């Protein structure tokens, strides 16, 4: 079994990145409106299989747009997000997940490299030197920073048997924290959730920071008022299971199952979260 919890990536971020950054306007204002409508439709879809079957068409659309604009940072960021989302959530075949998340990360670093030159040399850079480059990031790079961070998380998850990939976790944590400093706050809840996952991947004896992770998860839940059920699932999976907190584990998951998943902007991820909650509760007796 893959030791990573599933990284919950909302497909709306793909479309939002495309429309808010202006890449859709390269075609027409009608395309921008289409992107906005597609974003809402994906988030409010209660049948994940429909999204799974329909999203590849949009993947191909982005690839075709990149054929004509291979260096457009907004298009690259949108492609990075969508490939990361699809590879992390819907690519059940491990080899396919690795291929898709590898492409996602390639698009992500190309997007960031176009708008922030120091990132072009991040590969293989010592952590201290890498961390010093983050201070130069500004709000104008936020979309690309987010795309690279999400695609990197998906990539590491799909390559979790590669210690070189796992060694990059501190780099992504530092980058996500920098993103919180330069962004407008729209994606803060999701980012705190990702940070919760990152800091609870390992037990304390191996460098994990579960109490910091708990604070991140709680912050994410507070920011959405509990509307995003996926964060509670990751809280149970990442923190409660790591510390063998059965009572907390079951409480969080029962809260997920008791909640109405139909919340504008969260329906898709909530339906997926409830499926995960059922599976985690079913395996709880064996785990604990």
Within 10 Å of residue 204's Cβ, how many Cβ atoms?
Answer: 12
Q: Where do the structural domains in the chain lie, given as residue ranges?
A: 1-183, 187-288
Give the residue from 243, 213, 224, 232 showing the smallest Cα distance to 276: 232
> What's residue 262's pLDDT?
96
> What's residue 204's pLDDT?
85
Render each residue's pLDDT in the chain as its tens digit; 288 residues: 343 444 444 444 444 444 444 444 444 444 445 555 666 777 888 999 998 898 898 889 889 989 988 998 888 988 898 899 899 888 889 999 999 999 999 999 999 999 999 999 999 899 999 999 999 999 999 999 999 999 998 898 888 888 888 888 899 999 999 999 999 887 899 999 999 988 887 788 877 899 999 999 999 999 999 999 999 999 999 999 999 999 999 999 999 999 999 999 899 999 999 999 999 999 999 999
Residue 145: both structure tokens together: 């920073």
> What's residue 92's pLDDT?
83
> What's residue 82's pLDDT?
87
Cβ atoms of 73 and 114 within 8 Å: the answer is yes
- Residue 183 to residues 94, 196, 258, Cα–Cα distance (Å): 33, 19, 33
**Class (C level, CATH) for 187-288:** mainly alpha
Give the residue from 67, 58, 48, 53 showing the smallest Cα distance to 10: 48
CA distance 183 to 204: 30
**pTM, entire model:** 0.83
Cβ atoms of 45 and 267 within 8 Å: the answer is yes
> What's residue 19's pLDDT?
42
């Amino acid at each position: 079994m893959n030791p990573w919890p599933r990284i919950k990536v909302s497909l709306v971020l793909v479309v939002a990145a495309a429309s808010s950054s202006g890449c859709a306007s390269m075609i027409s204002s009608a395309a921008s409106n289409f992107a906005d409508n597609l974003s809402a439709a994906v988030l409010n879809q209660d049948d994940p299989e429909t999204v799974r079957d329909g999203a590849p068409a949009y993947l191909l659309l982005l690839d075709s747009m990149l054929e004509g604009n291979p260096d457009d940072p907004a298009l690259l960021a949108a492609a990075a997000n969508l490939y990361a989302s699809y590879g992390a959530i819907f690519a059940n075949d491990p080899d396919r997940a690795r291929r898709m998340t590898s492409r996602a990360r390639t698009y992500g670093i190309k997007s960031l490299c176009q708008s922030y030159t120091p990132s072009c040399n991040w590969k293989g850079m010592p952590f201290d030197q890498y961390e010093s480059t983050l201070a130069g990031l500004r709000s104008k790079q936020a979309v690309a920073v987010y795309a690279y961070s999400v695609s990197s998380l998906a990539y590491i998850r799909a390559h979790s048997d590669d210690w070189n990939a796992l060694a990059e976790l501190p780099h992504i944590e530092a980058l996500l924290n920098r993103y919180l400093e330069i962004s407008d706050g729209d994606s803060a809840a999701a980012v705190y959730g990702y940070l919760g996952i990152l800091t609870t991947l390992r037990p304390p004896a191996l460098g994990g920071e579960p109490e910091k992770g708990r604070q991140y998860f709680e912050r994410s839940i507070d920011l959405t008022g509990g509307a995003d059920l996926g964060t509670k699932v990751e809280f149970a999976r990442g923190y409660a299971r790591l510390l063998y907190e059965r009572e907390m584990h079951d409480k969080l998951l029962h809260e997920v199952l008791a909640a109405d998943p139909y919340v504008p902007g969260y329906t898709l991820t909530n339906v997926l979260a409830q499926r995960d909650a059922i599976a985690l509760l079913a395996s709880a007796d064996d785990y604990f």
